[in-house]
Copies of this chain bind each other. A is one copy, B any other.
């Protein structure tokens, strides 16, 4: 990891924290209890992979700052809401997230439900406010809504739920992850690039290939970490997928083949970026980071 990338990443994560704090109503705003819980869910935690992808893709075409900030915050709010709902007793029933009690444990289930609902609405509000070309912004709303919905993230969750205890093929497992985590990662890359200019079909295809590769790599690494790391390192309950009898790349391919797959996917991601030259440096670095991360 270069110093330039490390510095940029730390600055971007800090900026994302500041932006989320600004874009979610203050804890004093009525209803205070809900806003307090929304801030608990979204602030002070997480690797901010999606905002990093937005900002890194924004460098491809010198996208304006205000639009990137909003796109980044919106993707992170969608991600944060999905974690809150995913952790609820009727879904994964998890008590620990980012090293802290999950929202329904810290508050209660009804609050967790509303926190997720309100964060999703807030994501679309933040993205649709501010400066920028209305046509471009409306297209960005479409990309985010598509990625968040029933043929994107929510659809992936539904397939995941229906897959517990089943022997999935590799293709089925891949489809599930392409929706569950891949759709929003892809949207993050596209939103960053779209903040800069109207994309050509060739540019969209290259970014799609990149995003699909890192999205899948991200999940493969997640499965590897879930099988090998401890809860303190992960900030969430380790070994949970195996305990829940969920299909994973590790259970399907084994540990070593999963690690190799992640490296192959990372190479595919690098190749897809050739179209963009040196402007894509931080997207290259993020692909490496995703494969090499330890938590």
Contacts and interface: CB of A to CB of B under 8 A. Distances in A.
B122 A149 contact: yes
A61 to B, nearest CB: 20
Interface string A73-105: 000000001100100101100000000000000
Nearest to A148: B121
Interface residues of A, number: 53
A117 B85 contact: yes
A120 B117 contact: yes
A142 to B, nearest CB: 5
A9 interface: no
Contacts of A118: 149-150, 154-155
Contacts of A277: none
29 contacts: A29-B150, A29-B151, A31-B158, A33-B158, A33-B162, A34-B154, A34-B155, A88-B113, A90-B110, A90-B113, A91-B110, A91-B113, A117-B117, A117-B148, A117-B154, A118-B150, A118-B154, A120-B121, A121-B148, A121-B149, A121-B150, A121-B154, A124-B141, A124-B145, A125-B142, A128-B142, A134-B137, A134-B138, A141-B141
A172 to B, nearest CB: 11
A146 interface: yes
Contact of A138 (B90, B137, B150, B154): B137
A161 interface: yes
Q: Is the interface of A mostly helix, strand, loop or mixed?
A: helix
Most interface-central of A33, A121, A129, A159 (chain B CB within 10 A): A121
A154 B84 CA distance: 15
A269 interface: no
A34 B150 contact: yes
A35 interface: yes
A201 to B, nearest CB: 19
A57 to B, nearest CB: 20
A196 to B, nearest CB: 18
Contact of A110 (B82, B121, B161): B161
Contact of A35 (B38, B114, B150, B175): B150
Contacts of A166: none
A35 to B, nearest CB: 6
